[in-house]
Structure 1
Amino acid sequence: MHELVGALRSYAWGSRTALAQLCGREVPSAHPEAELWFGAHPADPARVVLADGSRSLLDVVADDPERELGSVAPAFGDRLPFLLKILAAEEPLSLQAHPSAEQAAAGFAWENKAQVPIDSPMRNYRDDSHKPELVVALDRFEALAGFRSPLRTVELLRALDVPQLTPYADLLAAQPDSAGLRTLFTTWITLPQAALAALLPAVLDGCVRYLAAGKGTTTEFAGEARTALELAETYPGDAGVLAALLLNRLTLEPGQGLFLAAGNLHAYLRGVGVEIMANSDNVLRGGLTPKHVDVPELLRVLDFEPLDVPVVTADATGETVYRYPTPAHEFALSRYELAEGAAPVPIPHTGPAILLCTAGTVTLRQDGEQLRVRAGHAAWISAADAEVVVATATDGPAQVFAASVGSC
């Protein structure tokens, strides 16, 4: 059991207050802080605090995978299979999807053969892994995720009452399935600039009229209309604003999760959450970003099957323990809600684990040793370590997330 120091990532969409406040640092921060990585990804590994200094978790695992990962090591190529993050979005993230395992392996091999530098901004595949992911809201968390039912989208397009949208609504109404969604999405995301410059303002005007008619809150598609306007303000003239009209818009309350498998188009809009994923940094972007956009590759990996809103509700497995069910083999995530002064709570593990405190302060005990962990900080538990007990919560109630390997 060792303290694990996360790697802070700064992106333009990040927050100057959320992560700094959570970690007890000065607010506002000097730069937007978007993600805090707790894992062993080569791009930015966390650091394990040892008696003689700190070492990269990547190096710690590589030096003795059998001890650190235990029996799961061979199944995942002697690599920690998951990456745990705290994500803080002040502005929308890019419209994006992640590849399947087969697509990632093929794309990574192709770009290697083409000698695209691993750190090139034009690179799509930075590793050979797929990237299923789960985000759990720490505060109100808003997102676009998965293609909405086509007939429901037809209702939205007609409700905006924009004549220029009529042929597109008719197209989808005539083919209300994944093929129709693929056709419409492809048409919009590849519109010539002149056509986009004519269509997008008309759509935004329709959103304004729609909200005004319903006084902004009572209309059926108010959230979708407001989101389109907000996206257009941040990314003017971007075809991703139109594409966003095809996606489910949802709001997670604290404790609720959102699971996304390969191929699901999504964009996180705002909020703070704990995110766990396969240990990968593969992202195919389609818009709403100044970063590299590769529409043909995105179209190759997208799943256009309509998706019911994939909200994950945690299963209570005890008075204080909540586990998030997902089909992912690479990771599992549980949440512990601890009252101040509550009885010690064991956190069992059979392989490697990361314990992340997101509220309050806890003291972890293991074989007579103690480690104090406060909000925004974490502990690394190797497979060889004994069971950890959360001995006490101080400074009020505490919340701890336990990340581990899923069922192989």
Structure 2
Amino acid sequence: MQYLEGALRAYPWGSRTLLAELRGTPAPAQRPEAELWFGAHPAAPSRIGEQPLDAIIAADPEAALGARAAAAFDNQLPFLVKLLAAGEPLSIQAHPSAAQAREGFARENAEGIALGDPRRNYKDPNPKPELIVALTEFKALAGFRPVAETLELFAALGGLERYTCMLDPAQPEESLRALFTTLISLPTTLRARLIADAAASARELVASDADAWMVEVAQTFLQLTERYPGDVGALAALLLNHVSLAPGDALYLDAGQLHAYLSGLGVEVMANSDNVLRGGLTSKHVDVPELVRVLDFAELADPHAPVSVPSASEVAFDLPIDAFHVTRHRLTDGTALTVDVDGPAVVLCTAGCARSGEFALAPGQAAWIPATDPAAEFTAAPGETAELFFVRA
């Protein structure tokens, strides 16, 4: 077991306070701190001492990953753990399935698009299912809202009622595909007029006695149009579930599910990929045809991640994937986390101080546990409550 130094990513949408306050570094930070990566993705591998984790794994995959995981995941760490701090909305985006990622990566390689080219959609041949667990209040857009509710919303927003003819609750996927592709492909002048009409109507809706969920959607739409004037992503946001997570709540997003994180701090665990297809709310490359090709247009009535509670101190996130398994542990006097697995693991501390012998983790610090490491036990420092996320292959 060794300390794993996270790789800090300073994207413009990051927060100057959330990560700094968690880690006990000066706040506000000098620049936005968006993500802290704990993993072996070649774009920003974590380090153990002076060595990047991807090089350590490549030098002896079986020692690092174990025979099972090395064989199953082509000698690569199959997951990436992040602390994500959203001070502003992220782009509207989706991620490819495994088959789509392999095909897209090979296609863009054959087209000669360099990995660093801003037009590049596929940075690797991997899918990117992801889990986000809130550490603070966390707001997100996640998955297409049921068509019946979107019909109700559009009837209340000026300019959009003309599109209700495209929505049929009996054929949700066909309806959402037709409406989304229509809205995201509108000519610039027509789009600007539609956004202006919808914004005027949204202001009236916010001041009315409409249902709370519609008021929240209208408020978010206004915030997005102010931050990204004329951006088609604000229209796409009107089709998505608006989700507010309390600390400890979680979302799971599978391949093709359209989403955007809006604000808050969370632990994000995903397959080891950086493949993103964007649809707006960004200055980065937007590829509408490719985004539509990978999207899942099924209604997503409840995007919350299912959980089980094996004990009073442990919560397990029940996910339909093999790339990673995640549990959250609250350690107090008399409780412990025992790590004894046949594959690689990352232990991330998000509160208090956790100890394993002389080894100690403070908030924002992580440990790398290779497959060859013997069992370890983490406990909270005396008189403290510690929170740990345990991620394993």
Following superposition of structure 1 onto structure 2, how do residues 287-326 of structure 1 map, counting pairs within 5 Å? 287-326=280-319
**Partner SS state of residue 317, structure 1:** strand
For the pair 1:58 / 2:54, whether they are aligned, the reply is: yes
Displacement, 1:313? 4.1
Counterpart of 1:303 in structure 2: which amino acid? D
Q: 1:92 to 1:312 in 2, by over 3 A?
A: same
- Structure 1 unaligned segments of length 5 or more: list them: none
What's 2:100 paired with?
103
What's 1:44 paired with?
44
Looking at structure 2, the residues matched to 150 and 237 of structure 1 have their Cα atoms a distance apart, in angstroms, of 25
- Of 186, 197, 200, the residue aligned with 2:195 is 200
What's 2:181 paired with?
186
CA RMSD between the two structures = 1.4
Counterpart of 1:385 in structure 2: which amino acid? D
- Of 350, 357, 381, the residue aligned with 1:393 is 381
Q: Does the CA contact (< 8 Å) of 1:108 and 1:125 recur in 2?
A: yes
Displacement, 1:220? 4.3
Looking at structure 1, the residues matched to 383 and 284 of structure 2 have their Cα atoms a distance apart, in angstroms, of 41
What's 1:7 paired with?
7
For the pair 1:380 / 2:368, whether they are aligned, the reply is: yes
Q: 1:344 to 1:173 in 2, by over 3 A?
A: closer
- Of 172, 197, 212, the residue aligned with 2:207 is 212
Looking at structure 1, the residues matched to 291 and 53 of structure 2 have their Cα atoms a distance apart, in angstroms, of 32
For the pair 1:254 / 2:247, whether they are aligned, the reply is: yes
Looking at structure 2, the residues matched to 143 and 286 of structure 1 have their Cα atoms a distance apart, in angstroms, of 15
For the pair 1:90 / 2:81, whether they are aligned, the reply is: no
Displacement, 1:63? 0.5
For the pair 1:134 / 2:131, whether they are aligned, the reply is: yes
Task: Provide the TM-score with structure 1 as the length reference.
Answer: 0.93
**Partner SS state of residue 37, structure 2:** strand
Following superposition of structure 1 onto structure 2, how do residues 339-354 of structure 1 map, counting pairs within 5 Å? 339=332, 341-354=333-346
Q: Does the CA contact (< 8 Å) of 1:359 and 1:397 recur in 2?
A: yes
**Partner SS state of residue 381, structure 2:** strand
Q: Does the CA contact (< 8 Å) of 1:256 and 1:313 recur in 2?
A: no
**Partner SS state of residue 207, structure 2:** helix
Which digits, 9 at most, give the CA deviation of each residue in 1:76-125, with x for residues without a partner?
A: 11000000000000111000000011110010001111111111111000
Q: Does the CA contact (< 8 Å) of 2:278 and 2:287 recur in 1?
A: yes
Which digits, 9 at most, give the CA deviation of each residue in 1:1-57, with x for residues without a partner?
A: 0000000001111000111111111111110000000000000000113xxxx3111
More divergent stretch after superposition (304-313 vs 14-23): 304-313
Q: Does the CA contact (< 8 Å) of 2:306 and 2:319 recur in 1?
A: no
Task: Provide the TM-score with structure 2 as the length reference.
Answer: 0.97
Following superposition of structure 1 onto structure 2, how do residues 139-154 of structure 1 map, counting pairs within 5 Å? 139-154=136-151
Q: Does the CA contact (< 8 Å) of 1:362 and 1:394 recur in 2?
A: no
Displacement, 1:350? 2.2
What's 1:360 paired with?
352
Displacement, 1:165? 1.7
Which digits, 9 at most, give the CA deviation of each residue in 1:200-220, with x for residues without a partner?
A: 100001100011123xx8644
Looking at structure 2, the residues matched to 102 and 144 of structure 1 have their Cα atoms a distance apart, in angstroms, of 25
**Partner SS state of residue 312, structure 1:** coil
Q: 1:395 to 1:359 in 2, by over 3 A?
A: farther
Counterpart of 1:317 in structure 2: which amino acid? P
Displacement, 1:272? 0.6
Q: Does the CA contact (< 8 Å) of 1:95 and 1:288 recur in 2?
A: yes
Q: Does the CA contact (< 8 Å) of 1:361 and 1:394 recur in 2?
A: no
Looking at structure 2, the residues matched to 219 and 323 of structure 1 have their Cα atoms a distance apart, in angstroms, of 31
- Structure 2 unaligned segments of length 5 or more: list them: none
Displacement, 1:175? 6.6
Give the number of aligned pairs.
Answer: 392
For the pair 1:117 / 2:114, whether they are aligned, the reply is: yes
For the pair 1:68 / 2:56, whether they are aligned, the reply is: no
